[in-house]
A and B are shown apart, each in its own frame.
Chain A
Amino acid sequence: MVKFILWRIGILIPLLVLVSIVSFIVIQLPPGDYVDSYIRNLELQGGSLNDAQKETLQRQYGLDKPLIVQYFMWISKIVLHGDFGNSFKYQRPVADLLMERIPRTIFLSLASIFFTWIIAIPIGILSALKKYTIWDYFFTFLSFLGLSIPGFLLALILLYIVFTKTGNMITGLFSPEYRDAPWSIAKFTDMLHNVWLPLLVLSVTGSGGLVRVLRATLLDELKKQYVTTARAKGLPEWRVIMQYPIRIAINPIISTIGWMLPGVVGGELVVSKVLNIPTVGPMMLDAVLSQDMYLAGGFVLILCSLTVVGTLVSDILLAWSDPRIRFD
Chain B
Amino acid sequence: MAKKHLSRRQFLVLSATGAAGAILAACSPAATATTAGDTTKAPEATKASGAVQPTSAPAAGGKSPRGFVEVPFLAERVSAGKLPPIDERLPEEPFVVGPGVLIQEEYGPWTNGEYGGQIDIAATWGTGFLNIAQASTPLRSPSQTTKASRPNLFSSYEISDDFTTFTFHLRKGLKWSDGEPVTTEDVRFVFEDLYNDPDVQRGYPTELYTQGASANGKAELTIADEYTFSLKFSKPYGMFVAVLNSWIPGYDILIKPAHYLKKFHAKYADKAELEAVLKEANETDWVKLLNNKDVSHWDTGEIRALGMPVLNAWVLVEATDTRRIFERNPYFWHVDSDGKQLPYIDRVVNNIAIDNNATLNAIMAGKVTLAGGNNISLSQMPTLIRTVEQFGRKIFTTGSFNFPPMLFLNHDFEYDKEGSVWQTLITDPDNRFGKAIAAAMDPDEVNKSVFFGKFGAPFMNNLGLDLDTANKLLDELGFDKRGSDGLRLGPDGQPFIFRITFATEAPETASVAELLKEQIQKAGLHVELEVVDGTLWDQRRNANQVMASIKWNDGPAWPTGISEDYLPNHKGPWSPMTWLYYTSNGKEGRKPPAYLQEFYDLHTARKAYPPESDKGQEIYKKMFQWMSDHYVMIPTVGPQVKPSLVDARLQNLPVEGAPFDLDVYINAEGYWFKNA
Chain A positions within 8 Å of B, measured between CB atoms, are 30-32, 36-37, 39-57, 59-60, 83, 86, 90-93, 97, 100-101, 103-104, 106-107, 110-111, 114, 159, 163, 167-172, 175-177, 179-183, 188, 272-274, 276, 278, 282-283, 320-321, 323
Query: Which chain B residues (537-568) contact chain A, with CB distance < 8 Å?
Result: 538-539, 554, 563, 565
Interchain residue pairs with CB less than 8 A apart (10): A30-B535, A30-B536, A40-B535, A44-B505, A50-B205, A107-B27, A179-B320, A179-B323, A272-B354, A278-B322
User: Closest CB of chain B to A62's CB: distance in Å?
Assistant: 9
Point out the residues of chain B lying under 8 angstroms from A32, CB to CB: 535-536, 538-539
A176 touches B282 (CB 8 A): no
Closest to B534 in A: A40
User: Closest CB of chain B to A43's CB: distance in Å?
Assistant: 8
A92 touches B303 (CB 8 A): yes
**4 tightest A-B contacts by CB?**
A169-B365, A53-B203, A52-B203, A32-B535
Point out the residues of chain B lying under 8 angstroms from A272, CB to CB: 354
Selected from B248, B351, B554, the residue in CB contact (under 8 A) with A179 is: B351
Point out the residues of chain A lying under 8 angstroms from B367, CB to CB: 171, 175-176
User: Closest CB of chain A to B124's CB: distance in Å?
Assistant: 10
User: Closest CB of chain A to B10's CB: distance in Å?
Assistant: 13
Assembly CA distance A321 to B401 (angstroms): 67
Given A37-B535, A176-B349; A171-B361 close (CB under 8 Å): yes
Chain B positions within 8 Å of A, measured between CB atoms, are 1, 4, 8, 19, 22-23, 25-30, 32-33, 48-50, 120, 122, 125, 129, 201-206, 248, 282-283, 288, 291-292, 298, 302-304, 318, 320-323, 349, 351, 353-355, 357-358, 361-362, 364-367, 374, 390, 401, 505, 533-536, 538-539, 554, 563, 565, 570-571, 583
**Residue from A31, A276, A282 with most neighbouring chain B CB atoms (10 Å):** A276
B355 touches A91 (CB 8 A): no
B354 touches A276 (CB 8 A): yes
Selected from A45, A56, A60, A91, the residue in CB contact (under 8 A) with B129 is: A45
A323 touches B248 (CB 8 A): no
A177 touches B203 (CB 8 A): no
Point out the residues of chain A lying under 8 angstroms from B320, CB to CB: 100, 179-180
Given A46-B563, A59-B201, A180-B32; A171-B362 close (CB under 8 Å): yes
B23 touches A107 (CB 8 A): yes
Point out the residues of chain A lying under 8 angstroms from B291, CB to CB: 56, 60
B22 touches A106 (CB 8 A): yes
Point out the residues of chain A lying under 8 angstroms from B206, CB to CB: 50
User: Closest CB of chain B to A270's CB: distance in Å?
Assistant: 11
A31 touches B570 (CB 8 A): no
B364 touches A179 (CB 8 A): no
User: Closest CB of chain B to A160's CB: distance in Å?
Assistant: 10
Judged by DSSP, the binding face of B is loop
Assembly CA distance A169 to B365 (angstroms): 5
User: Closest CB of chain A to B329's CB: distance in Å?
Assistant: 21
Given A50-B203, A91-B304, A176-B120; A276-B282 close (CB under 8 Å): no
Closest to A56 in B: B203
A180 touches B33 (CB 8 A): yes
Assembly CA distance A222 to B347 (angstroms): 66
Judged by DSSP, the binding face of A is helix
B22 touches A183 (CB 8 A): no
Given A49-B203, A50-B203, A276-B353; A60-B29 close (CB under 8 Å): no
Point out the residues of chain A lying under 8 angstroms from B366, CB to CB: 169
Point out the residues of chain A lying under 8 angstroms from B50, CB to CB: 175-177
Given A45-B298, A50-B205; A110-B22 close (CB under 8 Å): yes
Assembly CA distance A25 to B361 (angstroms): 37
User: Closest CB of chain A to B364's CB: distance in Å?
Assistant: 5
Point out the residues of chain A lying under 8 angstroms from B505, CB to CB: 44
User: Closest CB of chain B to A155's CB: distance in Å?
Assistant: 11
Assembly CA distance A307 to B125 (angstroms): 32
Point out the residues of chain A lying under 8 angstroms from B362, CB to CB: 169, 171, 176
Point out the residues of chain A lying under 8 angstroms from B25, CB to CB: 103
Point out the residues of chain A lying under 8 angstroms from B534, CB to CB: 37, 40
A163 touches B303 (CB 8 A): no
A278 touches B361 (CB 8 A): no
User: Closest CB of chain B to A31's CB: distance in Å?
Assistant: 5
User: Closest CB of chain A to B243's CB: distance in Å?
Assistant: 13
Point out the residues of chain A lying under 8 angstroms from B563, CB to CB: 46
Given A37-B535, A169-B361, A171-B365; A278-B321 close (CB under 8 Å): yes
Closest to B47 in A: A177
A48 touches B390 (CB 8 A): no
Assembly CA distance A47 to B33 (angstroms): 29
User: Closest CB of chain A to B438's CB: distance in Å?
Assistant: 26
Selected from B26, B304, B390, the residue in CB contact (under 8 A) with A167 is: B390
Point out the residues of chain A lying under 8 angstroms from B533, CB to CB: 30
Selected from A47, A50, A93, A163, the residue in CB contact (under 8 A) with B248 is: A47
Given A56-B202, A91-B303, A100-B321; A276-B358 close (CB under 8 Å): yes
Selected from A55, A169, A320, the residue in CB contact (under 8 A) with B203 is: A55
